[in-house]
Structure 1
Amino acid sequence: MYDAVVLGSGVVGLSIALELQSRGIKVAIVARDIADDSNSIGFASPWAGCNWFSFANGLSDPASEWDTITYKKLDKVARERPDLCEKVPVWDVFERKKRKEEEPWYTDVVDDYKDLTASPSSPLPGNKPYAHYFRTWILHAPKYTKYLGQKARSLGIPIIQHRISSLDEAYNLPPIGKVNLVINATGLGSRSLVGVEDEKVYPARGQTVLVKAPWVRECIFHVEGFFAPGEDADETAKAPPQAAYMIPRPGPEGHVVLGGHYRTNDWSTNTDLVEAERILKDCYNLCPRLAGPNGKSWKDIEVVAHNVGLRPAREGGARLELERRVIGQQGSTNLIPGGVSAGRKVGVVHAYGVGGAGFQNSLGLAENASDLAVQYLKSASSNKARL
């Protein structure tokens, strides 16, 4: 019935499923947490900022290609759904003048890029001395994932809520039937999924404050300290100040996401009100307009909600790879629900570990992952024909 199964319905899994469908591949999506549930803390997608602000480490980083493709493709999304995707100005401010070799790799990708120095007549946000300016995309994260899920279903792609414990199980799920290809987009789940068990995967805890400030329609970032050491770091090491950023959300609500929190290997999804206060203060210092026309301090910012999410990060960067494997290599197949055929040769495309970059590289990652999937299916078809 199906050519492949996609595991995971975060922004990466949904984007891959839609890309495969557009290429004539019949797919089903299986996930513990589904796109419709924007309140689930089981995956990171509903809690993201989110905007296009590349973390790729230069053009040699595969993520730079994924980000480039996504930046270009979001133009179509914005035309179709301006309530979900919009292009706005972004100011990336910093204290130290960047050297030429430190210029971002994406200067020729984004619109209206400028390298700016503050002056009395042209101050920069937060009264910072330097900034990079460009125009970028913002997305309404929870509504965008819901939109992708609805689009998938409208095209005949089922989204089945089901928790699997092993990769082998995914090749013969009762509602779907036998398949020879799985797309592993399980994010943090790849750490515990039997048959993957990638110890390089870890959570990078994020916390944001959703506020109402319809008069703020630009992104402002001060992220020199975004990857600063956590509380357990060596106290003698001088860490840069904690990061602060603000990302307006598309739509009529006038909401802005305030953030600047990144803690590795922290699994807590509880709101830290001390950190929330720090975020509000630092963002107010960057943009006092958050407090409204009559606001006097950060205390006048209208808080809507506190959000915590666990970014699915991975040491060494995201994993995008086609693996050819044999069912039953992880132990007795008698332990696998539904029964599997031990010794059957199958394939898996791993697509996980993107950390906080899921939305900004989702469409490019989906293209590349689908290339690998099509490559495997063609190869398997050719081998079957020869037999």
Structure 2
Amino acid sequence: MSPKEICVLGAGVVGLTTAIRVQEAYPTGTRVTIVAAELHTDPMSIRYTSLWAGANHMSFADGDATQTKLDKETFDVLWEMSAPGSESEECFLRITHRTYSSKEALPHPLTWMPDHRILKGADLDALPGSLSGEEYSTLTIDTPKYLAYLSNRFRRNGGTFIKARVHHVRDIIEGGYGLYTPDLVDRPHPSAVIVCAGLGARSLGGVEDQAMYPVRGQTLVIRAPWVKFGRSMELAGTSPTYIIPRRNGDIVVGGTMHANDYYPVPRPEISEDILRRGFELAPELAPPGTENPTIDSVRPLIRYEGCGLRPARKGGIRFEVEWVTEIAGRGDEKVPLVHQYGHASYGYQSSCGSSTIALELLSEALDLRKSLASAEGA
């Protein structure tokens, strides 16, 4: 028998992707509801990180087998979604991406990516200070458009959004959805809760995971529709720099990685540094035909600056089931709490693989609860 009510806490890319996976795994007899304090339709703020992501698919697994598996599965799904003629094609741009490094050799080259090759000779000479590099085909994501696509797909599948801040997981388990909206006061309480709260998992009552911490990132969005390639560099003594083109002609230029920094607005000096590094990496950002281009040639193209807090976690993503017991008004019933958070800077590129693990944990927990209930009733 399918579960009746599944609640997902969080409406970022991980929460949306997982909610859809649950809907598709249980197409009948199950309702999925997303409860989140911030939605993609809200004004952009540092509290909702998914809107600020670049984003592209460039694995940071660094040889970790589990993370590589998540990233590979996600790439395969997104590559299919980006295919010409697909309903989601407009969310993506297929590109050639090139990475430069000051390391003598890349420790974990992404040989599983399409059209992969190691950079040598003149390719490396193009960027002073680079000693190794690679090139491959990948995709970029127009994050506002993709989040809207996922939200619409969730709704088409019968999903419901509730915009509310949950202070403790027991509030939603014991009080139900009626605590947050009178329209759903008669809806049954959740059979299971999936926690996709990102950085919110640090303060969410009943979770309060102190291993969570922010990694602040800052970017520029530049209007340069002539740029159709991706580049990134990690050179000694500098912050990681990247150029991520979107299908709509915007270019995301970054970035920074500052742990435990909650500063909520862009810092002007960092924006200037990002512009300098971005132009060094890709002077093609200047309009075609510009004579002797400099960063001042690019400055008028800046549409806006932004910053977000990556939801990092010591020990990596948390995939775990906890059981909530002694639930007021629900007798001896136990409700599984599926933890799925801590994706740091790889939420988009691991979202589909991550949702597979969360779905497996959910299914196992619900099967176990059903078996226990049957044994107790025997």
- TM-score with structure 1 length normalisation? 0.87
Provide, for residues 88-124 of structure 1, a one-character-per-residue CA deviation record: whole Å limited to 9, x for no partner: 111110223216xx132x312x1011111132x8843
- The 3-state SS of whatever aligns with 1:362 is helix
- The 3-state SS of whatever aligns with 2:244 is strand
| Equivalence for 1:259 | 254
Asked if 1:195 is matched to 2:192, the reply is no
| Equivalence for 1:150 | 152
Return the offset for 1:344.
4.0
- The 3-state SS of whatever aligns with 2:335 is strand
Return the offset for 1:21.
0.4
2:286 to 269, 291, 295: 291
The question of whether the paired residues in 1 share the 8 Å contact of 2:192 and 2:337 is answered with: yes
- The 2-side partners of 1:217 and 1:379 are apart by 50
Q: 1:363 to 1:202 in 2, by over 3 A?
A: same
Q: 1:36 to 1:3 in 2, by over 3 A?
A: same
The question of whether the paired residues in 2 share the 8 Å contact of 1:324 and 1:347 is answered with: yes
Return the offset for 1:141.
0.8
Asked if 1:368 is matched to 2:368, the reply is no
- The 3-state SS of whatever aligns with 2:90 is coil
- The 3-state SS of whatever aligns with 1:177 is coil
Q: How does 1:230-241 map to 2 (within 5 A)?
A: 240-241=237-238
Return the offset for 1:340.
5.5
Q: How does 1:208-357 map to 2 (within 5 A)?
A: 208-224=219-235, 240-251=237-248, 254-293=249-288, 294=290, 296-301=293-298, 302-327=301-326, 341=330, 344-357=333-346
- The 1-side partners of 2:326 and 2:250 are apart by 48
- The 2-side partners of 1:216 and 1:152 are apart by 33
- The 2-side partners of 1:126 and 1:215 are apart by 24
Asked if 1:167 is matched to 2:169, the reply is yes
In the alignment of these two chains, the number of paired residues is 355
Q: Which runs of 4+ in 1 moved over 3 A?
A: 121-129, 339-344
- The 2-side partners of 1:92 and 1:155 are apart by 39
1:52 to 52, 57, 72: 57
Asked if 1:93 is matched to 2:100, the reply is yes
Q: 1:327 to 1:34 in 2, by over 3 A?
A: farther
| Equivalence for 2:181 | none
Q: 1:383 to 1:342 in 2, by over 3 A?
A: closer
Gaps spanning 5+ residues in structure 1: where?
226-239, 329-338
Q: How does 1:171-186 map to 2 (within 5 A)?
A: 171=173, 172-174=176-178, 175=184, 176-186=187-197
Return the offset for 1:186.
0.3
- The 2-side partners of 1:177 and 1:43 are apart by 29
Asked if 1:206 is matched to 2:205, the reply is no
Return the offset for 1:196.
0.5
| Equivalence for 1:333 | none
Task: Give the letter aligned to residue 276 of structure 1.
Answer: S
The question of whether the paired residues in 1 share the 8 Å contact of 2:105 and 2:131 is answered with: no
- The 2-side partners of 1:43 and 1:223 are apart by 27
Asked if 1:112 is matched to 2:115, the reply is yes
- The 3-state SS of whatever aligns with 1:71 is helix
Task: Give the letter aligned to residue 101 of structure 2.
Answer: F
- The 1-side partners of 2:283 and 2:311 are apart by 32
Q: 1:55 to 1:224 in 2, by over 3 A?
A: farther
Return the offset for 1:305.
0.6
Return the offset for 1:40.
3.6
Return the offset for 1:57.
3.1
- The 3-state SS of whatever aligns with 2:302 is strand
Return the offset for 1:87.
1.8
The question of whether the paired residues in 2 share the 8 Å contact of 1:92 and 1:221 is answered with: yes
Task: Give the letter aligned to residue 192 of structure 1.
Answer: S
Task: Give the letter aligned to residue 318 of structure 2.
Answer: R
- The 3-state SS of whatever aligns with 2:82 is helix
- The 1-side partners of 2:136 and 2:202 are apart by 37
The question of whether the paired residues in 1 share the 8 Å contact of 2:102 and 2:234 is answered with: no
CA RMSD of aligned residues (A): 1.9
The question of whether the paired residues in 2 share the 8 Å contact of 1:223 and 1:260 is answered with: no
- The 3-state SS of whatever aligns with 1:189 is helix
- The 2-side partners of 1:342 and 1:91 are apart by 58
- The 3-state SS of whatever aligns with 2:217 is strand
The question of whether the paired residues in 2 share the 8 Å contact of 1:223 and 1:245 is answered with: no
- TM-score with structure 2 length normalisation? 0.89
Q: Percent identity?
A: 30
Task: Give the letter aligned to residue 34 of structure 1.
Answer: L
Task: Give the letter aligned to residue 362 of structure 2.
Answer: A
The question of whether the paired residues in 2 share the 8 Å contact of 1:34 and 1:159 is answered with: no
Return the offset for 1:348.
0.8
The question of whether the paired residues in 2 share the 8 Å contact of 1:7 and 1:184 is answered with: yes
The question of whether the paired residues in 2 share the 8 Å contact of 1:91 and 1:220 is answered with: yes
- The 2-side partners of 1:361 and 1:255 are apart by 23
Provide, for residues 20-61 of structure 1, a one-character-per-residue CA deviation record: whole Å limited to 9, x for no partner: 00011431111101132362432200000000111113143x
Gaps spanning 5+ residues in structure 2: where?
179-183
Provide, for residues 177-230 of structure 1, a one-character-per-residue CA deviation record: whole Å limited to 9, x for no partner: 3123100000011000111000010111010000011111111101246xxxxx
| Equivalence for 2:31 | 26
2:370 to 372, 376, 381: 381
- The 1-side partners of 2:153 and 2:303 are apart by 29
